[in-house]
Chain A
Amino acid sequence: MPSVVKIEDIHKIYDSGEVPVHAVRGVSLDIQQNEFVALMGASGSGKSTLMNVLGCLDRATRGRYLLDGVDVSGLDKNELADIRNQKLGFVFQGFNLLARTTALENVELPCLYGKKHLSSRKMRERAMHCLEIVGLSNRADHMPNQLSGGQQQRVAIARALVNEPQLLLADEPTGNLDSRTSIEVMGVFQKLNDQGITIVMVTHELDVARYCKRYLILRDGVVVRDEPTQDRSLAEAELAKLREAEAAAKLTAHPSA
């Protein structure tokens, strides 16, 4: 069973300024099917750069990257775009939905750029299916400004799923959400992972990383720790705890009437 992600001695050097910045200094990584990996590190650790390389948005200066068995290190811009379209799904901190466009149309977007031509009906079916997975099929015709932060992020997740990618990449997906919504969104990720989707998530919050199954810590461009998560948090359990805490708070805040 080939790894979903196999990178060998990846280096990324930015050469635009006066001093070249060696952001990633030799990272090798193997990610199997159905893993749920957290990529952690302080700013400047190289985690965003590594994520960009994994996401085929940027090319490594040195090293090899095999995505689902295919060497993507030497591909050109258009080929990388096709890889992003077919094999990858992105979820961003800022949601990045198209404004004044319905949730359904937002989810359909990757289909429009697909190599295979799909009929409008097929595209709509696929998009609706993904919205159902994230539990938003009743809001398919809402615009982003009519949705809460958590709902917008779930639409973004649906968009990332629409072309049935090998790998889901999430960059601080809960960064703009409150604690309860964060737990809900992590619940969606966990559900997807349980159904077989491989996820790599960048985060700097330990709480969020606890929902993943494996975590990596980067410092100064190298991996300094790579371990399976102990005492993994499960979203449903966490939500239950939160509800109890809120109920308790209400009892003490308001004298019973």
Chain B
Amino acid sequence: MRFFITLRMALRALSRNTMRSILTALGIIIGVAAVIVMVSLGNGTKTQVQAAIASLGDNLVLVYPGNQGQGGGVRSGFGGATTLTVADADAIVSSFQHGESDAENTVSAISPYVTGRGQILANGLNWGTQIYGVSPDFPVIRSWRVVEGVFFDDAEVVSTAKVAVVGKTIVDNLFPDSDTASVIGQSIRIFGQGGGGGTPFRIIGVMASKGFSGNQDQDDVIFIPYTSHMKRISRRINLSQIYVQARDETSVVKAKTDISDLLTQRHNGTIDFTVQDQADITAARTASTDAMIYLLGAIAGVSLLVGGIGIMNIMLVSVTERTREIGIRLAVGAHGSDVLMQFLIEAIVLSFLGGLIGVTLGIGGSILLGNYKGWPVEPSTTAMVVAVAFSAAVGVFFGIYPARKAAQLDPIEALRYE
């Protein structure tokens, strides 16, 4: 019961000096608000990355040249190491897609993948873009079909046919006056970085529109058979990647292991490649975001510490200022513990309310950033609860010293204080 009376007294004392109370809590408010905004941004970014990777397709296993270790690390980029061959891809097909034992066939689709920067000329216009060389399995793996015309088939891969399937952005930029359907059959020239004059290709299909992902235009694409790419455009013998689709969700892990083992064997024990599923890729991409969030947590801890010191400072001043008042309370019968409770509660109220206000401002700020600047935000309930709990703890920790000083005053001395 005495507790509620003391709580009321503490709130009264704080409200007698509202401006000072707000300024004291400001350190905590700003610290907590900043942390909430940062964590929301971090979470939002992670979610966005996760979604982007998930949209690549289902049950994917990607093989890259170059060894990046498990998870983490920055990719060395295409052309970093040139160790994946078409033969590797064929080996995967024969072992795990069309292998003898049905149980062993963990792979349902596979596409060798080459990419390189190039220029497309058509209609007197030109357009610089990334030229992709893939197999007919690619649209299956990516769940991305043509909306007009057809994708190329195995025969055209074998014959290194000069056929191309383009995305909507290519159509819009090279054939601005035509509609999608009339682009089929048109001729374009593709200039790769492999040197030489441009090669004429014929458009046989247009991909369905996918729009933007983040700030990447997913319709700015042109697909040609990988064989044609390697022979005519990029003049290379190694693959940039191999796209593999596992048969189902449960086969993904086994497919990864199978492919790793096969390639290790084929490369004479050298692990000069990386095999990742979507979870691995997500983890790698979000590793830096995670590191950032932990760093911010540390900074937030420091800022809460500083805020707590501020509270302790003001409480000490407050105790000194109110020495007479404490003397009066003791004289009329307050126990030392009553005085300690009152000042401790004042400190905790300051820090706790500071935490609540900080969380509110942080959520508000996150929402504003999301709506007006379009940044990905996702407020985290855990962060909110931890922030408020931590703020209260700061109040207890930094309030106890001034509260004890107040409680230990001698009433006679305190009453004499000027």
Collect the chain B residues with CB atoms within 8 Å of residue A109's CB.
328-329, 332
User: Which of A58, A81, A92 is close to B334, meaning CB atoms less than 8 Å apart?
Assistant: A81
- B336 engages A77 (CB within 8 Å): yes
The CA of A220 and the CA of B280, in the complex, are separated in Å by 90
Instruction: Tell me the A83-142 residues at the B interface (CB within 8 Å).
Output: 84-86, 90, 92, 96-101, 109-110, 112-114, 117
Q: CB distance A112 to B5 under 8 Å?
A: yes
Other-chain contact of A110, B333, B336, B412 (Cβ < 8 Å): B333
CB distance from B366 to the nearest CB of A (A): 39
- Interface size, B (range): 20 to 34
A78 and B335 within 8 A (CB): yes
Instruction: Check A84 against B412 for contact (C-beta < 8 Å).
Output: no
Q: Which residues of A contact B337 (CB under 8 A)?
A: 78
CB of A194 within 8 A of chain B? no
In angstroms, Cα B332 to Cα A57, docked, is 10
B1 interface contact, C-beta 8 A: yes
Contact of B16 among A52, A90, A100, A114 (CB under 8 A): A100
Residues of B within 8 A of A100 (CB): 16
Residues of chain A within 8 A of B328, CB atoms compared: 96-98, 109
Task: List residues of B (288-326) whose CB comes within 8 Å of A's CBs.
Answer: 324-325
Query: Which chain A residues lie closer than 8 Å to B332 at the CB level?
Result: 84-85, 90, 109-110, 113, 159
Complex Cα spacing A110 to B12, Å: 17
Residue B9, interface by CB 8 Å: yes
Q: Which of B328, B332, B335 has the most CB of A within 10 A?
A: B332
Complex interface: chain B residues within 8 A of A90 (CB): 331-332
| Shortest distance from the beta carbon of B309 to any chain A beta carbon, whole Å | 27
> Hey, which chain B residues are within 8 Å of A85, CB to CB?
332-333
Contacting A at CB under 8 A, from B2-23, are: 5, 9, 12, 16
Q: How far is the CB of B301 from chain A (nearest CB, A)?
A: 37
Verify B333–A92 contact, CB threshold 8 A. Answer: no
- Residue A205 at the B interface, CB < 8 A? no
Specify which chain A residues have a CB less than 8 angstroms from the CB of B5 in the assembled complex.
112
A82 touches B (CB below 8 Å):
yes
Within 8 A of B (CB), among A30-86: 52, 55, 57-58, 77-78, 81-82, 84-86
Q: Point out the residue from B9, B16, B335, B415 that lies within 8 Å of A92, measured CB to CB.
A: B415
Task: Determine if B335 and A58 form an interchain contact, defined as CB atoms under 8 angstroms apart.
Answer: no
Q: Which residues of B contact A112 (CB under 8 A)?
A: 5, 9
Contact B334 A96 (CB under 8 A): no
Asked if B415 contacts A58 (CB within 8 A), the reply is no
| Assembled-state Cα–Cα distance A100/B322 (Å) | 13
Known contacts A52-B412, A57-B331; A78 and B324 CB within 8 A of each other: no
Shortest distance from the beta carbon of B163 to any chain A beta carbon, whole Å: 87
Cα distance A245–B61 in the bound complex, in angstroms: 110
B225 proximity list for chain A (CB < 8 A): none
* B-side contacts of A101, CB under 8 Å: 12
Query: Using a CB-CB cutoff of 8 Å, which residues 133-161 of chain A contact chain B?
Result: 159
Q: What CA separation (Å) do A58 and B337 show in the bound complex?
A: 18
Which residues of the partner chain A approach B327 to less than 8 Å between Cβ atoms? 96
Q: What's the least CB distance linking B406 to chain A, in Å?
A: 14
A82, B337: Cα distance in complex, Å: 13
Q: Are A81 and B415 in touch, CB under 8 angstroms?
A: no
Residue of A with least CB distance to B338: A113
A100 to B335, CA, bound (A): 23
A103 to nearest B CB, angstroms?
A: 15
Cβ-defined partner of A84 (8 Å) among B1, B9, B324, B333: B333
Q: B411 near A: Cβ within 8 Å? A: yes
B377 at the interface (CB under 8 A from A): no
Task: Check if B330 is an interface residue, CB within 8 A of chain A.
Answer: yes
Within the assembled complex, what's the spacing in Å between the Cα atoms of A100 and B9? Answer: 13
**Complex CA–CA separation, A81 to B324 (angstroms):** 17
List, in ascending order, chain B residues with CB within 8 A of A78's CB: 335-337
* Complexed CA–CA distance, A92 and B335 (Å): 20
Residues from chain B with a CB closer than 8 A to the CB of A82 are: 333
**B residues 276-296 in Cβ contact with A at 8 Å:** none
Chain B 381-397 interface mask (CB, 8 Å, partner A; 1/0)? 00000000000000000
A55 to B327: give the CA distance in the assembly, Å.
13
Chain A residues whose CB sits within 8 angstroms of the CB of B336 once the complex forms: 77-78
Name which residue of chain B comes closest to A113, CB basis: B333
Contacting A57 at CB < 8 Å: which of B9, B16, B335, B411?
B411
Collect the chain B residues with CB atoms within 8 Å of residue A81's CB.
Answer: 330, 333-335
Query: Measured between alpha carbons, how far is A85 from B331 in the docked complex, in Å?
Result: 8
Interchain nearest-CB distance for B398 vs A (Å) = 25
Residues of A within 8 A of B330 (CB): 81
Could you tell me which A residues sit within 8 Å of B by CB distance? 52, 55, 57-58, 77-78, 81-82, 84-86, 90, 92, 96-101, 109-110, 112-114, 117, 159
The 8 closest A-B pairs by CB, nearest first: A85-B333, A113-B333, A110-B332, A113-B334, A78-B335, A117-B1, A100-B16, A84-B333
Task: Give me 10 A-to-B residue pairs in the complex whose CB atoms sit less than 8 angstroms apart, sorted by A's number.
Answer: A78-B336, A78-B337, A81-B330, A96-B328, A96-B415, A109-B329, A113-B333, A113-B335, A113-B338, A159-B332
- Other A-B pairs, 7, CB within 8 Å; known A85-B332, A113-B335: A57-B331, A96-B324, A97-B328, A101-B12, A109-B328, A110-B332, A110-B333
Give B contacts to A, CB under 8 Å. Answer: 1, 5, 9, 12, 16, 324-325, 327-338, 411-412, 415
